[in-house]
Amino acid sequence: SQQGEEDPQALSIQEGENATMNCSYKTSINNLQWYRQNSGRGLVHLILIRSNEREKHSGRLRVTLDTSKKSSSLLITASRAADTASYFCATDELTQGGSEKLVFGKGTKLTVNP
Amino acid sequence: DVKVTQSSRYLVKRTGEKVFLECVQDMDHENMFWYRQDPGLGLRLIYFSYDVKMKEKGDIPEGYSVSREKKERFSLILESASTNQTSMYLCASSLSAYGYTFGSGTRLTVV
């Protein structure tokens, strides 16, 4: 299966700074999604960007997509200690049975220091 | 808000036991998924279901089975638990591939 690969694996910044995480994937996609996971909890859907979109915003989140480079970035502006979490990108993939499923990367662990 | 409820946050089971992990969603979603999450390996899809009594294998189905008798409930079954099945198990549901809703996870330890 194709898999998004996040970069860096871990990121530590100070409160108020911006955090940028990157995701690369291998094959063509219909959409790419970003999720957040607080320690020991389930994932929460943050934002979806379709293959024909280049940039999308949601509050302090900005996502870009470059399909020619098969890459996406997630920018969190003016970070807060509460943003400390792991962030995952996910891409859609067709199964052998013709269904759609999401394939997740291994995540970037973000620590925002107060 | 859509809610996905996993019956247990923590479970400890013995090797060889049959284990049931239950997941219930309350928004009439067609699709339901079971993932396991391990350090360094990310999330891996075990099984998913796109309709009642319909199921499809994910990337790592060996040692697992599933049951979906009702639309809202998707159960993961470990037929004979082994220590290498110690993991965090995450259930999710969706209407399509556009945005999954996850449960809080079940941390299973097999001793």
pLDDT digits (tens, 9 = 90+) for A93-112: 877 777 778 889 889 999 99
* Chain B residues with beta carbon closer than 8 angstroms to that of A30: 97
A87 closest CA partner among A1, A10, A2, A3 = A10
Residue-wise DSSP of A75-100: EE-S--GGG-EEEEEEEEEE-TTS-E
Instruction: Write the residue in B56, B90, B97 that is nearest to A42 by C-beta.
Output: B90
User: A38-85 pLDDT, tens per residue?
Assistant: 998 899 999 999 999 999 999 999 999 999 999 999 999 999 999 999
Query: How much is the pLDDT for B19?
Result: 97
Burial of A85 (0-12, 13-18, 19+ CB in 10 A): buried
- The phi-psi region of residue A111 (left if phi > 0; otherwise alpha if psi is between -120 and 50; otherwise beta) is beta
pLDDT at A3: 63
Q: Which residues of A touch B68 (CB under 8 A)?
A: none
Looking at the partner chain, which of B41, B56, B99 has a beta carbon nearest the beta carbon of A95? B56
> For A42, which of B56, B98, B105 is closest by C-beta distance?
B105
CA angle B92, B97, B98 (to 5 degrees): 100
Instruction: Provide the residue-wise pLDDT of chain B in tens; the chain has 111 residues.
Output: 669 999 899 999 999 999 999 999 998 899 999 999 998 888 999 999 998 988 999 999 999 999 999 999 999 999 999 999 999 999 999 987 678 999 999 999 999
